[in-house]
Structure 1
Amino acid sequence: MNLQRLSGIMSIHYRNKVLWLYVPGGVLLGNFIVNYVVSRLTGSVEIYTGGLASVFVCLFIGGILTAAQTFPFALGFSVRRTDYYKGTLLMFAGVSVLTALLILLFSLLEVWTGDWGSSLHFFHLPYLSDGSVFEQFVIFLSLLLYNLSAGFGIGSFQRRFGGKGTFILMAALFLMITVTAFLCTANGWWSAIFAWIAGHTAVQLALWLFPFTLIFAAASYFLLRRAST
């Protein structure tokens, strides 16, 4: 493994500060400010918000755009596909670890400040923040890696099969989800599904995401090997 080549790939990604810093940071900060203002206006009313999910959505989109924006650029400089793939995964790992640590830090700060002095629960949420500090870190890390790898898998699929192939994939997934939801409703499976989820802790469910993360990562490798520039 040539560390110099991999660091070069990571540098290509990190130069895009808009995608990896300004957009997720700005969206998360904007969500927090809006919810904080609302919490101050409502007085002592407890507010539980899902604004934290915005950072996971941003990184999911970032994973999709990564293959579209940097794969042709890297190959244009005669970068090997394997090196591009490995460097990208290392970049994803670095972004996920750093973001998970920041979320955990703000979660602890939220507890320390007494929910920001306004009964706002933004970073430290019931169920998601249950368990030890290490378990909370694992939860955030797992979610971040999953969203990045899933997005990268979709982006790699688009590089391999183009826009028409991606449209067919999305339509097939939508149809599959629709049929599954219909079957769950028709057969009364939702209560059993929710009971199964409630019977597991957040960290246990987060650990289940790692195999899917590896599947997406492996699929991206094989797709990029045959993708056109």
Structure 2
Amino acid sequence: MTAVVTALPIDQASRFRPHEIWRIIRLHAVNPSILFGVPWIILGGAWAISVLIALIMTSAGVPPAEITEGMRYSWAVISPQWYLIAVGVQAVAFTFSFALGFGATRRDYWLGTSAMFLFVSLEMAVAIATLVQVEQLTNGWWVNAAMFDALWYGQEGWLVDFFTTFAMQLLVLFIGAGITTIYMRWRMRGMLTLVFGAVAVILVAIAALTFTESWPALAEWLMSIGLVGVFTIVLVKALAWAVAGFLVIRRATPR
């Protein structure tokens, strides 16, 4: 008598596979200039322009205090954010099909992509928060320039600068990636729905705040929760985009 033993198939897709996630991280790092080079080129260019402006104003006889105060309203410190939205788009658009081709599951892919986004956000948050401190210690790079010590930066210490940068970086990366998953899943119909839906929500919110005269109350509430509270909301939005992106990409069709 011959006994036949049939082994139950193992669902590999249901397992946590660190080696596959690491392969996705390495895939995103094939061209490191996209994630680590260009953002710093943008930031370095903005720094050079800021220092040059400070030098010109000093030569023109503008008092140092006025130079520093005027440059605090510059948006140069967040100049890489617009590019990082495009990075989020490219990260998914250029690698998703290839990753599935060499055996990665959609979950492996999204976890690996999220890990890379976390690393990029941490790296830039640590660097920018530190550069704020260096700029303050050197009195604006010895020329009274306020490139990093601008907007809300430099007011509540290194940890707050780190947290706000981290949350903002993560949000823009996942927005870019999430938008791309919507396009892959529903193509142009999905993109149009997203755009018109977002515009409708914004207009309804503006109308509601205007007709109920709630703008002062909103401003007062934002002031009451402070920078950490505001950017905690930003971080929650980033996590929401991350979860939404994963849910959408599970049924996305690479082409």
- TM-score with structure 1 setting the length: 0.91
Number of residues of Structure 1 aligned to a counterpart in Structure 2: 229
Structure having the higher Rg: 2
Rounded to whole Å, the distance in 2 between the matches of 1:178 and 1:40 is 43
Name the residue aligned to 1:141: 166
Name the residue aligned to 2:112: 87
The question of 1:204 aligning with 2:229 is answered yes
Deviation at 1:114, TM superposition (A): 0.5
Deviation at 1:213, TM superposition (A): 1.9
Deviation at 1:186, TM superposition (A): 4.1
Structure 2 unpaired stretches of 5+: 1-15, 59-63
Give the alignment's Cα RMSD to 1 decimal. 1.8
Among candidates 88, 95, 101, match of residue 76 of structure 1: 101
Pairs within 5 Å for 1:70-219: 70-219=95-244
Rounded to whole Å, the distance in 1 between the matches of 2:210 and 2:51 is 37
Deviation at 1:41, TM superposition (A): 0.6
Percent of aligned positions with the same letter in both sequences?
24
The question of 1:29 aligning with 2:39 is answered no
State the one-letter code of the partner of 1:188. E
Among candidates 59, 64, 68, match of residue 84 of structure 2: 59
1:37-74 deviations in Å (ceiling 9; x for gaps): 11111123221211112122222221122221111121
Name the residue aligned to 2:29: 14
Contact map agreement 1:127 1:201 (CA 8 A) in 2: no
Q: Write out the 4+ residue segments of structure 1 that deviate beyond 4 Å after TM superposition.
A: none
Rounded to whole Å, the distance in 2 between the matches of 1:126 and 1:29 is 18
Q: Residues 77 and 178 of structure 1: is their aligned pair in 2 closer, same or farther, counting only changes over 3 Å?
A: same
Contact map agreement 1:130 1:202 (CA 8 A) in 2: no
SS in structure 2 opposite 1:191?
helix
Deviation at 1:169, TM superposition (A): 1.0
SS in structure 2 opposite 1:226?
coil
Contact map agreement 1:67 1:159 (CA 8 A) in 2: no
1:84-130 deviations in Å (ceiling 9; x for gaps): 11111111111111111111121111011111222222212353333
Rounded to whole Å, the distance in 2 between the matches of 1:138 and 1:129 is 12
